[in-house]
Amino acid sequence: MSEQPSTLYKLCINVAVTDCVTLCRFCKKEFRVLPDNVLFDFYYKMYLEKRLCLLGVEYSELEVFSRMLKVKHNRNKLLKSFQSLIDHGSNVMEELFLSYSKHRTASEPITNNAIDVGLKLGGFFNEGGWYNYAIDVLNVVEELCKKKGKNVTILCKLLDCYHKRLHAEAVYCMFKEAEDTYELAQSTIEELEKLNAVPNLAGFYANVSALFFVRSEYDEAYKWAKKSLKLLNENIPPSRIIVEVLRQASKSCVVKRRFSQAKLLIQQAVSLASHLYAHDFHPCYSDALMDYGFYLLNYDSIQESVKVYEKALAIRREIFEKHNVHVAVGHEDLAYALYVNEYSSGRFYSARENAERAIRIMDKILPRDHLMLASAMRVKALILEEIALDLRDGSHTREQDKLLLEAEQLHKSALALSHSAFGEHNVQTAKHYGNLGRLYQTMMKYEEAEKMHLRAIAIKEELLGPDDYEVGLSIGHLASLYSYHMKRHQDAEKLYKRSIDISLKLFGMFYSGLEYDYRGLIHVYTELNDINNMLHYTHVMREWKHLRQDHESTDIFPETVKPLNEVISEFFKMC
């Protein structure tokens, strides 16, 4: 089939860009008279032709770029071309911020339009993962709103500013600042209540839930997620907010091990995002897929989670290419899913490559010792430990020691970052203790390993209760230490059985993690010469394998969008 000829419109754009050096030199003002969507096409063609220096000059002008922010149907193209300018070395973000910040000292009165430009610019920086600049811009918006005076219109704009800033600060791990923003938003809501003018708060409540989620305060995250769902309806503009609320609520359900609720919400979010952005690679769809992968991984649909994470990362790389925090997080989450998926095979090359890419990107674009690095370092350390374990034949001792020492350094660095951000009594800190415990077990430092495991268990039990998945995981690791290395078989037996009880309660009899506890118990009873129990659990293990083979895979990439009110109603029936 022959290629269709270009339209006259496209031919005009092509000619204009081909001669853009001359045209921009002499006809810049005339070009800017064009409608916003036509001017956008001109600039995007400039990006495709790699005329990035000229494009950077144009996009650095706030008046021009604010017009491009209005062309919402080409958002992914704007993000893509903007990221290319950053990679090219342009100071476009700094220029836009400095230009906008001049409103602080301008002699003319502050207009609603000036505030709206800041809200749109801050929102755009949020979408692109440029959170530090989003926060800077939104700080200026806050100042302008407060100078403008208090009326319903300005208070609503101020609340929108806090909504966007809370999101940026939470994701960027600025927890103290996020807490302050939350308090300011609550005060603004109280003022709007007095005027009977409170807007729909579903999106804001979802951001509050997200803040508690990243701080590992899961009960609060779930509480605020339910609040956001109660306010959700089809009339909330834009529809992207509906997707964000569903996504965040699903994540909160996952960490509370409410998998039926989580599945209901995240499949609706994926389906809705797919329909909203059917013909585009769009960040919103990628975000929904990332959270869907999170659900699948935690629900033990590991191979399916890998496929979903791969698709999400492909979308992010299509938009942002390499040097972007969204891409880094995509590599990190895929690395961990691959690590879990290949745990028994030992083929960790792809997992290691993705983890190292994540760390390289974060090192390049984040401040030194940023908390987001802790999670990526943890994933790489886990992978290195498993690679080292596969070198136990004695012929690779030096290489094994090198890998284990690097893993220890990564785990310790991650623990220090977590401790600095969260303190001792936090789930993330406890996870890092547990990871060090496993590593010290591999390094044959058994007493240190036991201390780390006991500390992890104590923190998790205090925060999550005795029957949480995280507690069961740490108990299983301690049982392995007692069983295989410290010859404390009676203690190991009790711990394995407790870990099994937790897994059965949360996941059912087909859960993959049961394999390690069953194998551990078989080893314990073999060492204790308890033949009856050894044969019993050998039979249980055999039955478990049959259940795993018969376990149906989740139907990934759902397409059916249900009526929103039905989804919300069904969710609360499960509470």
What's residue 345's pLDDT? Answer: 75
Rounded CA-CA distance 446/477 in Å is 12
Which two three-digit tokens encode residue 485? 């290395």
Q: State which H helix or E strand residue 28 sits in.
A: helix 20-31
Is residue 230 very low, low, confident or very high in pLDDT (cuts 50, 70, 90)?
A: very high
Residue with tokens 């306010």: 231
Which of 374, 373, 276, 357 shows the shortest CA–CA distance to 313? 357
Q: For the chain, give the number of residues.
A: 575
CA dihedral for 429, 434, 439, 443, sign (positive or negative): positive
What's the average model confidence in pLDDT over 336-351? 89
CA angle 216, 420, 430 (to 5 degrees): 45
Residue with tokens 């961990």: 336
Q: Tens digits of per-residue pLDDT, 470-504?
A: 999 999 999 999 999 999 999 999 999 999 999 99
What's residue 484's pLDDT? Answer: 94
Q: Tens digits of per-residue pLDDT, 375-421?
A: 999 999 999 999 998 877 666 688 999 999 999 999 999 999 999 99
What's residue 100's pLDDT? Answer: 97
Higher pLDDT, 2 or 97: 97
List of residues 6+ apart from 318 with CB closer than 8 A: 80, 281
What's the average model confidence in pLDDT over 535-561? 80
Rounded CA-CA distance 190/195 in Å is 9
Which of 327, 328, 290, 324 shows the shortest CA–CA distance to 307? 290
Evaluate if residue 298 carries a pLDDT over 90: yes
Evaluate if residue 12 carries a pLDDT over 80: no
Q: What percent of the chain has pLDDT above 90? A: 78
CA angle 62, 67, 73 (to 5 degrees): 135
What's the average model confidence in pLDDT over 322-340? 96
Which of 129, 57, 93, 94 shows the shortest CA–CA distance to 320? 129
Contact present, 178 and 170 (Cβ < 8 Å): yes
What's residue 26's pLDDT? Answer: 41
Q: Tens digits of per-residue pLDDT, 53-69?
A: 989 999 999 999 999 99
Evaluate if residue 24 carries a pLDDT over 60: no
Rounded CA-CA distance 550/538 in Å is 19
> 435 vs 153, 224, 264, 428, 448, CA distance in Å?
51, 30, 32, 11, 12
Cα atoms in the Cβ-side hemisphere of radius 13 Å centred on 65: 26
Rounded CA-CA distance 544/537 in Å is 10
368 burial level (CB within 10 Å; 0-12, 13-18, 19+): exposed
Is residue 11 very low, low, confident or very high in pLDDT (cuts 50, 70, 90)?
A: low
Rounded CA-CA distance 133/280 in Å is 26
Q: Tens digits of per-residue pLDDT, 98-124?
A: 999 999 988 888 999 999 999 999 999
Rounded CA-CA distance 251/245 in Å is 10
- The ranges assigned to domains in the chain are 423-550
Evaluate if residue 554 carries a pLDDT over 90: no
Rounded CA-CA distance 310/337 in Å is 10
Q: Tens digits of per-residue pLDDT, 153-200?
A: 999 999 999 999 999 999 999 999 999 999 999 999 999 999 999 999
423-550 belongs to which CATH class? mainly alpha
pTM value surpassing 0.85: yes
User: In this structure, what DSSP letter does residue 238 have?
Assistant: S
Contact present, 253 and 259 (Cβ < 8 Å): yes
What's the average model confidence in pLDDT over 303-328? 95
Convert 511-533 to b/e letters by CB count within 10 Å (16 or more is b). bbbbebbbbbbbbbbeeeebeee
